Structure formats: structure tokens, C-alpha cells
């Protein structure tokens, strides 16, 4: 079977899957319905300050698994719903930043610099249209790059990397994420170390549990969903609630909205924005392909590139960059949206999650079974069908379906979601807490899983208080078991050579890069700290 055969089978797996309902005798598969529902939910949560795509994905995953079960037919509907949330939240996040100067995420802060001044000048609808067009364009570009690059990278890894090299590559990825995320390299290393420690509870060899403290509930290891949801969602909810009660006395900023003509996107304006969108999309895609960096850096670089170009091409009558220029909104939104597709390049080709959304896609695959992200997915076998490759192209089809919804109805839905920004946090956050704990109990049906979730929620809260990102923790927890297994296999395959990570040239190069990444990051952090103290 050739590549075109697998592509066609992936498309058919989505379009001709289990029928949900029919229109005029034409069946509509459940996967298409789930992508659409996930997209609608994603736009809504993206437009709600305090929420976001990862939170909605975290709450939805256990409920979806309990509904669809653990059969291979559940993979595409469940993951299609999660992809829909991811795509919808990407465009919905610009709504509170533009309308109410309330960035729901750090990268959305840069959208407020030009988006909110446009709202104050009566150009709110124009700003939302610019954000929508730029976001969807950047997202679509990164998806195309994903489909082209992920199979190529996976085949390259499978052809040239053996067990020692794969183990060293996992160590390099963890080192890179620890150094690039977490507030500082030291904090990132602490977060990674905690994730590895949690991953090795109850997972010893010869059926002998370790690090359990004699607890029977921990003998089979910590539940994956409980740990991830606790550290990411429960910790975030507790932190947001404490922040709200601490700042509740501050006066709310008055909003001024005026009505003006010319709120649409003219061809002349689109042509003016395209250079900014193109630069930001390329920068965001490159950054997104590197695991762990995320959309905040992409938005910063995209905004900086846009500002540099705007300074050279600005007309005297145009507003200053950062004071209501549509080009500023376009540069930021194209950059942070192009990260979402590119972040799945290391997920599908290497099995390494790069952001929170990718973490939940891997969780869905591990919860249901039948699909293991990594180099083996893209084996183009000719004698028999590779079902994982069919699923991969099915996921690509779901992504393009979500992009189609983004292009057609995304803007209309996005502009109607301004009401979501008015939901009080004292109502919203307890609801999120209740839904998360309910979703955990629905999947695990054991109170021990709920207590574990709460315990890691407290840990996630403390990590945020001390400025430690939970993303390295989550990635390390997911990759910890795989890293240990690969190290054991490599150690055995090399005849119990204790220096197997250094005797192989490629593995030694990866280990050297891992050490160099941490050392450079620590030195840069020390220099910046010294400069701040000197200032």
C-alpha cells in the first residue's frame, strides 16, 4: 500500500465512521459531529477568562472515554473532539483580550496592546475580524507543515536511531523543556525531577512496587489522568481563586465601545496584513516544532517582527504600533496560532508532547489504546495495513475539518462569544473544580483517584506560587516510564555496557547537547539576575 492509499483510508475513517445521524439519507459520522461540538466548546472556553483549551480538554477526556469506551473505534471521535477544542480555543482566546483588555493567557497579552485600543476607538468588530483571519491563516499554515514534516521526521528517526540514540533523544527533550520552561532553568529542572519521581512510583521490575510507602492504592502506580488533571487544572483553579479573592477589591475598568463604519476586512487591508501574517506564521511554526517552548515566545517574536516591519512601512496617518494598529493584532495572533499544529510534529513523530494540548492528545491515546504516538506510527507497510498510520491520517483529516469550521463559521461564533467574558470568576472556578473531580471519578470510579488528584492539585498550586511551570512536570511524568523502558532495553542490547549513552556517536552528541542546553540556560539566567540586581 502506498502513501495515497493510507491518506484515503484516513479520510474514509473519519467520513464513513460510525453513523451518528443522517440527513436526506446521507449518514453523518460521529467523528465529524464530535469535531464540530469540540470546536464550539473550544471557542466558548477560549473566550472565557480563567478557562482555556487545556482545561476543557482535561474535563472532557474522562467523560468521553467513559461514553465511547476503550475500543479502537473510540479513538477518532474522542481525539477529534479534543482537536476541535484545541482549534476553537485558539481563535476564542483573542475575544477577552480585544474587548475587555483581559488576556486569558500570557501570549494574549500582546493582543491587548493593539486590540483593546482598537476597541476604545470603536473598531472592536474590525479587531476581531483581523484576529480571526490572522489566527486561522497561521493555524492552517502550521497544519500543512505538520502533515509534511511529521512523517518525514518519524521515518528519519526510525531509520537512523537505535535504542541508545532514542534514550539520549528523550533525555535531550526533557533537558530542553526543563531549560526553556518553568520560570528559570533551575525551576524547570525541579519540575522535571518531580515528574520523573512521580512516574516511578509503583513501577518497579519483577512486580515489586517501589516508592509506595506501603500503600496498596499506589502499588499499580499513580493514575495518569489524576496526576495530570490535578497538577494542571486543580492547581490552576486554586491559584486563580486565591488571586481573585486577593484582588477582588480593585475597581473594574470602564469599557467604552463606539459604533463606526468600515468594520469589515477589505481586500486592501488583507493585502496589507499578509506580510505580517506570513512572517509570524513561519516564526510560530518553527518555534512550535520545538517541544516545550510554547506560544508565548512565538507571540513575542511575531510581535517584534511585525513592529520592525511596521516602523519601515508606516504611513504618517497610521496609528503607532501598540496603540491600535491592526498589524499588531495580526502579527500576534498569527504567531501564537501557528504553534498549535506545529506542536504536534514532535508528538506524532517522536511521541514527545510539547504543550498542554498535546499532553491530552497523548493521554487520550494511552487511555483508549490502539495508537502509540512515535516513529512506529508512520511505517508504510505494504503487505498489511498499519492501523496506527490510518489513525494518524484520520487525525490530519479532523484537523482540516476543524480548520474548515474556523474559516466558515469561526468568526461569527467568535464575535458572539463576548458575553462569556462577563461570567464572574467566583461562579466559574468552583464549577470547573466540580466538573474536573466528577470527570476523574467517572473514569476511575475510586475515591483514591480523587484524593490523588487533590494532592497533586495542591502541588500544582504551590508550583505556581513559587513560579514553577507544571508543563515540565507533566511531560516528565508522561515520558518517565518510556524513558526507563528504553534505557533498560538499550542497556541490555549493548551487552550491559554502562557507557552505552557515550560510546555511540549520535547518542553522545545528544547527551552533549542536553548538558550544553542546561549549562547555557543557567548561565543566561544568572546573567539576567545579576543585571536586575545591578539595575
**What confidence score (pLDDT) does residue 81 get?**
92
**What confidence score (pLDDT) does residue 103 get?**
63
Between 97 and 457, name the one with better pLDDT: 457
Cβ contact 164:490 at 8 Å = yes
Instruction: Give the residue from 333, 362, 384, 368 showing the smallest Cα distance to 479.
Output: 362
Distances (CA, A) of 22 to 25, 28, 33, 78: 6, 5, 11, 20
**What confidence score (pLDDT) does residue 297 get?**
65
432 grid coordinates: 470547573
Instruction: Give the residue from 29, 8, 6, 7 showing the smallest Cα distance to 18.
Output: 29
Q: How many percent of the chain have pLDDT more than 70?
A: 86
Assess whether pLDDT exceeds 60 at residue 256. no
Cβ contact 313:167 at 8 Å = no
Between 335 and 316, name the one with better pLDDT: 335
144 grid coordinates: 500543512
Task: Enumerate residues 6+ apart whose C-beta is below 8 A from 61.
Answer: 78, 82, 225, 360, 363, 364, 367, 439
In tens, the pLDDT along 22-42 reads 777 777 888 899 999 999 988
In tens, the pLDDT along 393-426 reads 888 899 889 989 988 888 788 777 666 666 677 7
Assess whether pLDDT exceeds 80 at residue 356. no
Assess whether pLDDT exceeds 60 at residue 62. yes
12 grid coordinates: 474514509
Average of per-residue pLDDT across 119-126: 81
**Predicted structure pTM score:** 0.75
Assess whether pLDDT exceeds 80 at residue 101. no
- Per-chain mean pLDDT for the chain: 79
In tens, the pLDDT along 473-516 reads 887 887 888 788 888 888 888 888 888 888 888 889 989 988 88
In tens, the pLDDT along 164-217 reads 888 888 888 788 778 766 557 888 888 889 988 888 887 666 567 777 777 777
Task: Enumerate residues 6+ apart whose C-beta is below 8 A from 126.
Answer: 118, 262, 263, 264, 265, 326
**What confidence score (pLDDT) does residue 294 get?**
59
Assess whether pLDDT exceeds 60 at residue 70. yes
In tens, the pLDDT along 268-305 reads 878 888 888 888 888 888 877 776 555 666 777 788 88
The burial class, CB within 10 Å (0-12 / 13-18 / 19+), for 114 is buried
Assess whether pLDDT exceeds 50 at residue 254. no
Amino acid at each position: 500500500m502506498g502513501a495515497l492509499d493510507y491518506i484515503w483510508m484516513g479520510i474514509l475513517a473519519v467520513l464513513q465512521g460510525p453513523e451518528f445521524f443522517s440527513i436526506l439519507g446521507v449518514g453523518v459520522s460521529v467523528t465529524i459531529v464530535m469535531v464540530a461540538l469540540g470546536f464550539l466548546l473550544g471557542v466558548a472556553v477560549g473566550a472565557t477568562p480563567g478557562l482555556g483549551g487545556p482545561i476543557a480538554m482535561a474535563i472532557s477526556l474522562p467523560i468521553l472515554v467513559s461514553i465511547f469506551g476503550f475500543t479502537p473505534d473510540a479513538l477518532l471521535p474522542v481525539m477529534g473532539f479534543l482537536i476541535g477544542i484545541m482549534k476553537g480555543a485558539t481563535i476564542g482566546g483573542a475575544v477577552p483580550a480585544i474587548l475587555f483588555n483581559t488576556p486569558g493567557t500570557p501570549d494574549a497579552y500582546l493582543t491587548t496592546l493593539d486590540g483593546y485600543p482598537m476597541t476604545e476607538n470603536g473598531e472592536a468588530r474590525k479587531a476581531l475580524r483581523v484576529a480571526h483571519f490572522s489566527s486561522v491563516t497561521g493555524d492552517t499554515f502550521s497544519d500543512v507543515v505538520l502533515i509534511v514534516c511529521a512523517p518525514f521526521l518519524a521515518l528519519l528517526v526510525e531509520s537512523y536511531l537505535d535504542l541508545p540514540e532514542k534514550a539520549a533523544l528523550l533525555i535531550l527533550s526533557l533537558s530542553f523543556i526543563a531549560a526553556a520552561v518553568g520560570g528559570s532553568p533551575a525551576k524547570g529542572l525541579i519540575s522535571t525531577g518531580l515528574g520523573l519521581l512521580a512516574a516511578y512510583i509503583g513501577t518497579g521490575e519483577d512486580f515489586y512496587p517501589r516508592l509506595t510507602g506501603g500503600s496498596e492504592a499506589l502499588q499499580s502506580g499513580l493514575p495518569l489522568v489524576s496526576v495530570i488533571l490535578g497538577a494542571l487544572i486543580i492547581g490552576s483553579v486554586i491559584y486563580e481563586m486565591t488571586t481573585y479573592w486577593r484582588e477582588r477589591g480593585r475597581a473594574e475598568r470602564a469599557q467604552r465601545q463606539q459604533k463606526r463604519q468600515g468594520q469589515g476586512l477589505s481586500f486592501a487591508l488583507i493585502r496589507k496584513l499578509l506580510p505580517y501574517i506570513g512572517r509570524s506564521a513561519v516564526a510560530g511554526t518553527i518555534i512550535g516544532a520545538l517541544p516545550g517552548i510554547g506560544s508565548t515566545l512565538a507571540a513575542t517574536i511575531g510581535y517584534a517582527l511585525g513592529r520592525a516591519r511596521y516602523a519601515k512601512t508606516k504611513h504618517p496617518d497610521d496609528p503607532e504600533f501598540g496603540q491600535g494598529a491592526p498589524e499588531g493584532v495580526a502579527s500576534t495572533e498569527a504567531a501564537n496560532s501557528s504553534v498549535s499544529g506545529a506542536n504536534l510534529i514532535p508528538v506524532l513523530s517522536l511521541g514527545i508532547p510539547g504543550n498542554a494540548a498535546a499532553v491530552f492528545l497523548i493521554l487520550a491515546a494511552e487511555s483508549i489504546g490502539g495508537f502509540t504516538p512515535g516513529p512506529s506510527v508512520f511505517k508504510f507497510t505494504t503487505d498489511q495495513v498499519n492501523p496506527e498510520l490510518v489513525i494518524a491520517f484520520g487525525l490530519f483529516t479532523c484537523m482540516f475539518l476543524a480548520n474548515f469550521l474556523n474559516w466558515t463559521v469561526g468568526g461569527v461564533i467568535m464575535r458572539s462569544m463576548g458575553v462569556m467574558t462577563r461570567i464572574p470568576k467566583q461562579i466559574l472556578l468552583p464549577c470547573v473544580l466540580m466538573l474536573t473531580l466528577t470527570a476523574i471519578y467517572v473514569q476511575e470510579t475510586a475515591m483514591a483517584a480523587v484524593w490523588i488528584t487533590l494532592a497533586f492539585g495542591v502541588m500544582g498550586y504551590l508550583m505556581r506560587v513559587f513560579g514553577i511551570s507544571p508543563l515540565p512536570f507533566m511531560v516528565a511524568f508522561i515520558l518517565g516510564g518510556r524513558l526507563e523502558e528504553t534505557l533498560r532495553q538499550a542497556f541490555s542490547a549493548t551487552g550491559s555496557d554502562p557507557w552505552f549513552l557515550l560510546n555511540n556517536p549520535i547518542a553522545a552528541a545528544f547527551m552533549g547537547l542536553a548538558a550544553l542546553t542546561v549549562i547555557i540556560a543557567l548561565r543566561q539566567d544568572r546573567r539576567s539576575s545579576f543585571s536586575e540586581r545591578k539595575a
